[in-house]
Amino acid sequence: MVLLLFIALPAAADGSSDGLVRKYREALKDASPGELYVLMGEELFHAKRGPKKASLERCDFGLGPGVLKGAYAQLPRYFADTDKVEDVESRLASCMTALQGYSAAQLPRHGYGDARMGDFLRLAVYVAWQSNGMKLAPPLGHPKELDAYRIGELLFYRRAGSHDFSCATCHAASGKRVRLQRLTNLADPKDAQHGFPTWPAYRPVAGDVHTMQLWIGACMYQIRHPQLVFASEASIALQVYMAQQAAGGVIAVPGVKR
Amino acid sequence: MKLRALLVVLAAGCATPAGEAEYRARAEAAVKSAFAGGDPVILARVLKQDDAQRLCSEHRDSPPAAIAGSMMAAQRAAIAYPASGRLMGDWRQGKRIAEDTGGMRFGDKPGPPNGGNCYACHQLARAEIVHGTLGPSLLGYGKAHGAGEAAQREAYERIYSPQAFTACSAMPRFGHNGVLTPDQVAHLVALLLDPASEVNR
């Protein structure tokens, strides 16, 4: 399995990478390095950690304290205890603060490129993995969830910066590529249902598992935006919008991306 | 999903124009907090949209014809040309600019020269198979358009400010936004038009 981490994607002779990525996924099907993250996440989840020497076993992901099965399929969602809409990582951060006593300074400042993300990636995959095979069905009934959706939609189409880019520049048309990277059309539910619920995903190019929040941060880097603040309102709102677009898609994590 | 969509439509339908403006203000505040403490030069540009960016955002890149017309006219009036007056530079330098993926991301060395990263979206040379498809293939562009003065001017202006031709084009306004200098744009014109360039071989 360790060897697999170092397999590079061969160059596509026909200029299309889809077939190769599909083959690569099949080769990794039963032994994806991403599966290791599930195991590491499980260990972290049950370990007594932080100033309060407590585990995350009482963390409520929306279906009750300690209920993990199906919880990820309904994220992001509103949480009354924090009075915020939270995704899987920001919920983990809330539980690490409340249950384990971590301070804000011990949590990641940014998703992308922040070494403190390591635990979150593992924990997030572990939580998400327990919704595998279920349909994504994030709630939209709370006013703050609806607010997040509308703000996220505006942000998706907001062009800014030196290169005039928005999310929609790359993710609002079907069958397009940047270099050899196939782009998910998030404006089209059919494509969104395929692309979104396979995050968190293992990325051979990075040799790491990335969550959606971290991946949005990577997009911000490419579209010439600044470092995205971890668990910021915008990072959650964008995910609420994307999750609604992708609702009904079947969760299959950790996915394998390029 | 249908019920969700309906909920959103209902909420949108009930919202007054003031509601829309309020969401826009909240989205702008969310941008501010999302990037707090980030690279200050990049942050300043991302916070402050120019008219084209603001209108394209509001109209989701499909502005009505009347607005699109005045947007394109404003972009056209702002095009600047190289001091030398030469719109076609050296295709080999253009090739390097097209291949250069860097510049203006956080962590990049600040200041010019920046890259064009043209292959991210366009096919340009037969030998380079790692190219994107967000923009049209430009293979053989010079063969189709020639290298005359009119072709040079059009290629220059299209790279300098694509929104002078198509309001809300997905392509960055490389010259207008100061990503590439007028001389760099002229080198890219040569890459496209010079018969010796790999684009036309």
- Provide DSSP, B139-186: TTHHHHH-SSHHHHHHHHHHHH-GGGTSTT-SS--TTTTTSS-HHHHH
Both structure tokens of B40? 């200050």
Both structure tokens of A15? 């200029």
How many residues in chain A? 258
Q: Could you give the residue numbers annotated as active site of A? A: 219
pTM (2 d.p.): 0.90
Quick one: pLDDT at residue B86?
Answer: 97
Helix (H, G, I), strand (E, B) or coil at A204: coil
Contact B4 A140 (CB under 8 A): yes
* Domain ranges, ordered by start, for chain B: 2-77, 91-193
Quick one: pLDDT at residue A14?
Answer: 38
Q: Which of A11, A160, A168 sits opposite B53 (nearest CB)?
A: A160
Tens digit of each residue's pLDDT (9 = 90 or more) over A153-172: 999 999 999 999 999 999 99
Contact A164 B177 (CB under 8 A): yes
Contact B46 A228 (CB under 8 A): no
Q: Write out chain B residues lying below 8 Å of A161, CB-based.
A: 42, 45-46
Q: What is the ipTM of this complex?
A: 0.91
Class of domain A32-256: mainly alpha
Quick one: pLDDT at residue B112?
Answer: 87
Measured distance CA(A84)–CA(B169) in Å, rounded: 36
Tens digit of each residue's pLDDT (9 = 90 or more) over B102-158: 999 999 998 889 999 999 999 999 999 999 999 999 999 999 999 999 999 999 999
The architecture of the domain spanning B91-193 is Orthogonal Bundle (1.10)
Which of A15, A16, A179, A26 has the alpha carbon at shortest distance from A4? A26
Q: In which residue ranges of chain A is pLDDT below 70?
A: 1-21, 25, 28-31
Measured distance CA(A211)–CA(A222) in Å, rounded: 17
Q: Which residue stretches of chain A are H helix?
A: 18-28, 33-46, 88-98, 118-129, 143-156, 167-171, 189-195, 212-222, 233-245
Quick one: pLDDT at residue B60?
Answer: 97
Whether the upstream peptide bond of residue A76 has omega within 30° of 0, thus cis, is yes
In this structure, which amino acid lies at residue B191? L
Which of A100, A220, A246, A184 has the alpha carbon at shortest distance from B34? A220
Q: In which residue ranges of chain B is pLDDT below 70?
A: 1-18
Measured distance CA(B5)–CA(B26) in Å, rounded: 22
Helix (H, G, I), strand (E, B) or coil at A84: strand
